[in-house]
Structure 1
Amino acid sequence: MLPGAAIPLYARVKALILRNIGDGTWPRDRRLPSEHDLVALTGASRMTVHRALRELTHAGVLHRVQGVGTFVAAPMARSGLIEIEDIAQEIRRRGAVHGSRVLLLDRVEAPGEVMSAFGEPGCRRPFHSVLVHSEDGTPVQHEERYVDPELAPDYGRQDFSARTPFDYLIEAVPLTEFEHVISAVAASPAIAAALDLPQGAPCLRLDRRTWSGARIATVNRLTYAGERCRLATRRVVSTS
């Protein structure tokens, strides 16, 4: 059975697996006990064990072989340049189901920080959207976006539960440039609630601005649950 009743059960299952990996009980390339055996070992439900295994697989700690089992993955450190890509496409490419929940879609007076981010001539009343994206039902990204209404006048009339803001904007606005700033942050109360995390849990924040010609089109803040994301890229290096 698992100690720590104040911690969500799936997190305690994950902690048990990580502890066994860390102390060498389950070394690299070792096949883990089956889900059935983990249910018996932990006292958790099959669904809870499956969630713990899925999240550790997405984090690169485990890897699953269809019809064979789940194995301890080799240690991994992956980082690199970040490209602009639709999160729905990323999730579907992994063979998972993307979902989105719209928390806010309105036109607002821009806060000072957002006004500064838009630069001159600025955008005083942008569209403001807030969504939570999920993978197989688990929330993975909190997306907050401010959009220049002169460049995307129909943004406020879109159904972003059916298509992502990225998918709409890449079609509606010719984007010519982007800027990324990446930070490690602790989950605020609002982010923790949206992503089903403990308050203060580690998160990765991607602040993004996009341009259409000389004008800033969007100011975005994408916050990822730290234990549920990896950032990676691959480039061909030119020697010419």
Structure 2
Amino acid sequence: MTARRKRSLPYETVKNSIHQRIAEGGWQPGVRLPSERELVQQFGCARMTVHRALRELEAEGLIERRQGSGSYVAELHPISNLLQVRDIHDEIAERGHLHTTRVCGVTRERSTAEVAAAMRLRKGTAVFRCQLVHLENGVPIQFEDRHVNPALAPDLLRQDFTQVTPSHVLFEHAPLTEAEQVIEAVLATPAQARLLDVPAGSALLMVSRRTVSQGQVASIARLYHPGSRYRLIGQFSVPGQEGKLAS
């Protein structure tokens, strides 16, 4: 017997429909959404259903609800500076050092189940993959293994990655509106050790990062750094809470 497909609740249908239209660019930032009454008529549902869908979209930061005016698509500002998701070229340049890149591979490939799940795509969907080594004054400090959604950066494979980084291309074509990352210690495989010029089994810092632009996953990346050569420094502040510390 085949498992029954779980049916969406009415408010989820409304929410997902609005979310999809925003993500696909049908409603641009700042555009006023139809009124609750108009949405009720459009979806043939109760007003409470529409109200819940809008409330959840507001909580996720996709829309703004203005008293007496209606609901609007939120202005989605890039947040790379807040999260310290930066272009490694800029980091190295700010230290007054020279950034160079060795290109290991730039290809188009079918996504594995793991990659597809992380990028919210169907298994086998075509994705771009970039494998690069970044050097600071000639010393390898990062091996970048990145998968990119072609829909958000269609000309990525035509770029010269000795002159521009994937991060730079993504910042221009898919402004960052959401990101998540995990930092953990791993041991260098023989291949990674060879690329980073360290002994096999050396300690590496691995940053697993997923970036999202207006509801779509733009890229997932695994960034490997020799533990003896790289430090990760983060800074966080809450607007209006400067100077206050929480235990």
CA deviation string 1:171-206 (max 9, x = no partner): 111221111011100001111010001000000000
Name the structure 1 match of 2:127: 126
Q: Deviations over 1:130-176 (max 9, x none)?
A: 00000000000000110111111101110011111111110111221
Are the counterparts in 1 of residues 112 and 124 from structure 2 also a CA contact under 8 Å? no
CA separation of 1:236/1:173 partners in 2, compared to 1, >3 Å: closer, same or farther? closer
Matches within 5 A, 1:89-238: 89-120=90-121, 124-236=125-237, 238=241
Question: Cα offset for 1:121?
Answer: 5.2
1:84 counterpart residue number = 85
| C-alpha contact (below 8 Å) 2:143/2:192 kept by paired residues | yes
Using structure 1 for the length normalisation, give the TM-score: 0.63
Q: Give the structure-2-normalised TM-score.
A: 0.61
Match of 2:170, SS state, is helix
Structure 2 Cα separation of the partners of residues 183 and 114 of structure 1: 19
Matched-pair contact (CA < 8 Å) for 1:207–1:220: yes
Contact preservation (8 Å) 1:123, 1:148 = no
- CA distance in structure 1 between the aligned counterparts of 2:152 and 2:234, rounded to whole angstroms: 30
Partner of 1:91, secondary structure, is: helix
Unpaired runs of at least 5, structure 2: 1-81
Give the gaps of 5 or more residues in structure 1: 1-80
Larger Rg: 2
Q: Deviating runs (4+, > 4 A) in structure 1?
A: 120-123
Deviations 1:14-53 (A, max 9, x none): xxxxxxxxxxxxxxxxxxxxxxxxxxxxxxxxxxxxxxxx
* CA distance in structure 2 between the partners assigned to 1:158 and 1:123 by the alignment: 24
Aligned to 1:49: none
CA distance in 2, matches of 1:175, 1:123: 25
Alpha-carbon separation, structure 2, partners of 1:92 and 1:229: 15
Q: Percent identity?
A: 43
